Structure 1
Amino acid sequence: MSRGPKVAITALTACAALTAAACASTTASGGGTAEYPSETVTIVVPYTAGGVSDLTMRALAEFLQKETGQTVLVENREGASGAVAMRYAMNQPADGYTLFNIGQGANVITPIVEDVEYDRHTFTPVANVAAFPSALVVGKDSSARTAEDLFEAARQSPGTVSVATAGATTPGQIAVEQLGTGPKAVPFKPVPFPGNAEALTAVLGGNVDALQINLTNDLLARADKGEIRLLGVGTPDRLPYLPDVPTFAELGFEDAIYSTSPYLVGVRKGTDKAIVDKLAELINKAPQDEQFRETVGDRFVTKGDETVNELVKYLDDTDAAYRPILEGK
């Protein structure tokens, strides 16, 4: 049976037990929200299986399934820098049964650089379950002991100090270009690779001078082993587990904080507010769940306390920080 008839049956059953006035009120407010979710929920991920987005959303799916008793599926729809998934998403019912992994790439960057049918306002961010800070990294043999060492080398020989990124229109690439603007501009030579793995291999092999990448448990383990050095992080404040590593803001580049990647979950704009509120309440419990924290990585889960309005503002601020760089290409 399709989703539409199921919802209608739920509303009619409720009407049989309530007064006509109460039924009218329930229908007007999006009948059935009290029982939400009452059937299978799908989380659409705009990237291939096995990546950080996929891992995070699968951990969330497991949590939601445990919390609600309903089946929660993850559906990977990669392609066109996230546009394939977002086009699919915008054509799904605004009923809360299709959730979307919202991020900087598919929802902010792609609508700026590509002619797509959607923008960041097409979807409503409901909650943020994880955030992977970006970092400026050098290999173990680099002469740069600090970010200022690397910056000075780049200023002395503009365009010769190479920094690997995971792609030409990724948050990491934008961060490198942001470092090249303003009164303290650092004229790096950004070198985009097909992905994080290739970019990391390049810096480990000494084929590039540095790397701009999001932190993961693997990367932190490499730093602990001395294979790489972390020179700066793209967060508003210093990370408690990297207290000696300065932020890009401290180094004079406040906009570069938007290179940190949040893992937002959203729904189509127009979804009933009662469902949005229920989803936010459910999803914001995930960061406190022991299994979720273990799967995603304790260092990367959020507090789970951001409101929808705060998340909308974050995407708006990210757009404002990215647009001058992207439109200048």
Structure 2
Amino acid sequence: MLLTRRSTLGLMAGAVLAPSVVRAESFPSKVVTIIVPYPAGGPTDAIARFVAQDLSVAFGHNVVVDNRAGASGAVGTRAVAHAPADGYTIVFGNNQTHGNNMFLLKDPGYDAVKDFAPLAGVGAFEHAFVVRNDLPAKNIQELIALAKAEPGKLNYGSTGVGSGSHLAMELFMQRTGIKMTHVPFRGAAPLVQEIVGGRIDIANSTLPSVLEQINAGTLRALAIASPERNPQAKAIPTLREQGVSNADADSWAAFFAPAKTPQSELDVLSKAIIASLNKPATRDAIVKLGFTLNVRDPEAFRPRLLQEIASWKQIITEAGVKAE
């Protein structure tokens, strides 16, 4: 009887403890970190924080954003590539971190394809040509004429060597035969500050990073580097409308986890991120930034990723940009 009683008590204890054990081992059971490889305050950071807020509610655990800027986004991206593959550290990357750095950094410290598992394609940052308010150019053709009059005198800012804003401008210069001096920054926020302050002449910056300043009149927009006008900035004409073709360039963005993360964790993260991006309130907030949403699940995004890497490699080659 004693043995039977002890066995019964053991089974009862196991039954009581089992649910708590399951809860402790379910994913996620602690804080999830989204690394943004750029400074706080830019559009990439803003989108990551919108998603992090939704995920915190969905998971019942805090989801925090960790800004780790440096080396054209390679510092933060490298940290995720080498993080434990348990789903608790992911990255919000883009065409720079998961494409261009492979060709423009001699040692980025990771492989953009082999070291990462896509969680969700988010969409694209369209680029806008913006200038300081007192620059004597009211449209793209006037800018081209100004640059040709004194080659190299005008400077242009970017969010770093190999960023979309850098390569898009290099492509524009190659297409129009002009020369300007490159001034790289560690992210969109400091770049925009310098244009507003009049210390940088021009940037082919992502629209979300400059839309507020365009609307406030603290800088001027000359063109959108996309086939069509953006719904959030309908007054800004495209490059094509102003006689410049083959110079359009959008910068895609996506969430990634370390490649060896278990599929079950990848599925949980992917579904939650996609649900967030499809949530009406979150979609509205992101679209109002000027970002173009085009949500893709991992299977749909993988071929897109490879296609985009090939496209930007071609842009780098045509622009003659060398690895650093």
* TM-score, normalized by the shorter chain, greater than 0.5: yes
Off by >6 Å, runs of 4+ in structure 1: none
1:216 aligns with 2:211: no
Return the letter of the residue paired with 1:269.
A
Distance 1:50 1:199 in 2: 11
Residue 165 of structure 1 is matched in structure 2 by: 158
Distance 2:292 2:54 in 1: 14
Residue 267 of structure 1 is matched in structure 2 by: 257
Distance 2:159 2:76 in 1: 20
Given candidates 219, 223, 229, the residue that maps to 2:220 is 229
Deviations 1:95-138 (A, max 9, x none): 43332222233332333223133121121222133643221112
Distance 2:26 2:294 in 1: 24
Residue 91 of structure 1 is matched in structure 2 by: 82
3-state SS, counterpart of residue 326 of structure 1: coil
Distance 2:179 2:193 in 1: 23
316 and 111 in structure 1: CA distance in 2 versus 1, 3 angstrom threshold: closer
Contact 1:179–1:253 (Cα < 8 Å) also in 2? no
Q: Structure 1 residue 239: deviation in Å?
A: 0.8
Contact 2:227–2:248 (Cα < 8 Å) also in 1? no
Residue 119 of structure 1 is matched in structure 2 by: 111
1:109 aligns with 2:109: no
Q: Unpaired segments of 5 or more residues in structure 2?
A: 1-13, 15-21
Q: Structure 1 residue 150: deviation in Å?
A: 0.9
Q: Which structure has the bigger radius of gyration?
A: 2
Deviations 1:167-207 (A, max 9, x none): 4443222222111214x333333333555444434433444
Contact 1:167–1:173 (Cα < 8 Å) also in 2? yes
Residue 137 of structure 1 is matched in structure 2 by: 130
Q: Unpaired segments of 5 or more residues in structure 1?
A: 1-12, 14-31
Q: Structure 1 residue 147: deviation in Å?
A: 1.1
3-state SS, counterpart of residue 223 of structure 1: helix
Identity score, percent: 27
Deviations 1:237-281 (A, max 9, x none): 3212223423346654535414x3x33111122444554444333
Contact 1:102–1:125 (Cα < 8 Å) also in 2? no
3-state SS, counterpart of residue 257 of structure 1: coil
3-state SS, counterpart of residue 126 of structure 1: strand
Q: Structure 1 residue 231: deviation in Å?
A: 1.2
62 and 147 in structure 1: CA distance in 2 versus 1, 3 angstrom threshold: same
Given candidates 258, 265, 272, the residue that maps to 1:282 is 272
Greater displacement, 136-145 / 43-52: 43-52
Return the letter of the residue paired with 1:117.
G
Q: Structure 1 residue 211: deviation in Å?
A: 2.6
Q: Structure 1 residue 302: deviation in Å?
A: 1.4
Return the letter of the residue paired with 2:80.
A
1:326 aligns with 2:316: no
Greater displacement, 133-142 / 44-53: 44-53
Residue 10 of structure 2 is matched in structure 1 by: none
Contact 2:226–2:249 (Cα < 8 Å) also in 1? yes
3-state SS, counterpart of residue 47 of structure 1: coil
Deviations 1:130-179 (A, max 9, x none): 64322111233333221122123223443333323344443222222111
1:304 aligns with 2:299: no
Residue 174 of structure 2 is matched in structure 1 by: 181
Residue 28 of structure 1 is matched in structure 2 by: none
Greater displacement, 240-249 / 98-107: 240-249
Residue 60 of structure 2 is matched in structure 1 by: 69
Q: Structure 1 length normalisation: TM-score? A: 0.73
3-state SS, counterpart of residue 165 of structure 2: helix
